[in-house]
Amino acid sequence: MQSVRCHRMETGELTTPALLVDRDRLEGNLATMAEALPGDRLRPHVKAHKCTALAALQGEQGQVGFTCATVAEMEGMARAGLGQDLLLANEVVDATRLGTLVRAGSRVTLAVDSEETIATAVRSGVSEVVIDVNVGLPRCGCRPEDAGRLAESARAGGLTVRGVMGYEGHIVGLEDRSQRTEMLKDSMELLMSAHQHVGGGMISAGGTGTYDLNHWATEIQAGSYALMDTAYAKLNLPFGQALSVLSTVISVSKEWAVADCGLKALGMDHGDPSVEGAAVWFCSDEHLTFAPEVPLKVGDRIHVIPAHVDPTVAYHEHLHLVDGPDVIESWPVDLRGW
């Protein structure tokens, strides 16, 4: 984990597009979540920011365990001294590198949902697993009725089964809070029924959109709360927009302007980004076309707010921690890649 401390540098000196993180909002978000989910009630998901410097700040809030999405994230967290309790909340068919982490002293738990992924854990030398259960999102996870059988198989293979995991990803972004609450109850009933047959102390679930609603899980895997995006902002959560993409206006026409921030700098799967005081028209590879309320000129800088924080961060090499116009530190996005 390395960061570059900047002396008397301002955002105007950065090459755009550049990721900015507002220090006060970030610190406020981390403190708000730590108060709501203290200690091991929160297992932050580092896929949202892919930055060990930011993960270290989460650790200072009392979070010891972390959630990862890739083997490379697991390796990076271990290198940064943050390997006390890492959960790979994803199935893999080659866990050799995870076994290496275990032998080097990291605690590694691997999500499994089949006999094949259980065998992968056994072969690799990973000794702890969690049974991943499908709670409504058509992605990974076994059927709830198969969870007990898989747990027995894992234990027969010499593995320790820590418990169950189920991600209600089809629910976390729903704008209607009452709908989120009702659908969450249905999903967690599936997870709890699986847990009855699996055992173990871990019931891992949740995300930023359900962090305060999920009272079934022993730990919540929230990640986006630290930086936020426009998709989650629609839920009226108590987290501020800490991340923006600093961009430069490169062309101006009578009715619109163009900035140097396009598809290759923004996660677009949740929709278009936003610009305060402007209507975004569309994004091209390297261009953002928008209609500003107040005329702009070539060379002006704007702040673009992404709709989805996770892929946006993954497109960039650095996060720049800022206080107003001042760049305080530059953090490498050192968990990128696979």
Condensed to tens digits (0 to 9), the pLDDT of residues 32-89 reads 999 999 999 999 999 999 999 999 999 999 999 999 999 999 999 999 999 999 999 9
pLDDT digit string (tens) for 243-270? 999 999 999 999 999 999 999 999 999 9
Query: 273-297: b or e for each residue (b if 16 or more CB lie within 10 Å)?
Result: bbbeebebeebeeebbbbebeeebe
Spatial separation of the C-alpha atoms in residues 302 and 321, rounded to whole Å: 17
Q: In one letter, which amino acid is 208? A: T
Contact (CB, 8 A) for 86 and 66: yes
Q: What is the pLDDT of residue 338?
A: 83
Q: Is the dihedral of CA 199, 89, 81, 128 positive or negative?
A: positive
Residues 6+ apart with CB under 8 A from 62: 34, 38, 39
Spatial separation of the C-alpha atoms in residues 245 and 243, rounded to whole Å: 7
Q: In one letter, which amino acid is 121? A: A
Establish how many alpha carbons lie within 13 A of residue 50's alpha carbon, considering only the half-sphere containing its beta carbon: 24
pLDDT digit string (tens) for 114-142? 999 999 999 999 999 999 999 999 999 99
> Mean pLDDT across the stretch 148-165?
98
pLDDT digit string (tens) for 173-219? 999 999 999 999 999 999 999 999 999 999 999 999 999 999 999 99
Mean pLDDT of the chain: 96
- Listed by start position, the domains of the chain span 4-19+239-332, 23-226
What percent of the chain has a predicted confidence (pLDDT) above 70?
A: 98
Which among 134, 80, 78, 81 has a CA at the least distance from the CA of 108?
Answer: 78
With a cut of 90, say whether residue 6 has pLDDT above it.
no
Q: What is the pLDDT of residue 233?
A: 97
Which CATH code is given to the segment(s) 23-226? Answer: 3.20.20.10
Contact (CB, 8 A) for 66 and 78: no
Contact (CB, 8 A) for 122 and 158: yes
Spatial separation of the C-alpha atoms in residues 19 and 320, rounded to whole Å: 6
Spatial separation of the C-alpha atoms in residues 45 and 87, rounded to whole Å: 9
End-to-end distance of the chain based on CA atoms, in angstroms?
A: 18
Q: What is the pLDDT of residue 271?
A: 95
> Mean pLDDT across the stretch 311-316?
98
Contact (CB, 8 A) for 233 and 79: no
Q: What is the pLDDT of residue 35?
A: 98
Residue 181 tokens read as 């609450």
Q: Say if 4-19+239-332 and 23-226 have the same CATH topology.
A: no
With a cut of 70, say whether residue 4 has pLDDT above it.
no
Which element (helix H / strand E) includes 56? helix 52-60
Superfamily of structural domain 4-19+239-332: D-serine dehydratase-like domain (2.40.37.20)
With a cut of 60, say whether residue 1 has pLDDT above it.
no
> Mean pLDDT across the stretch 146-155?
98
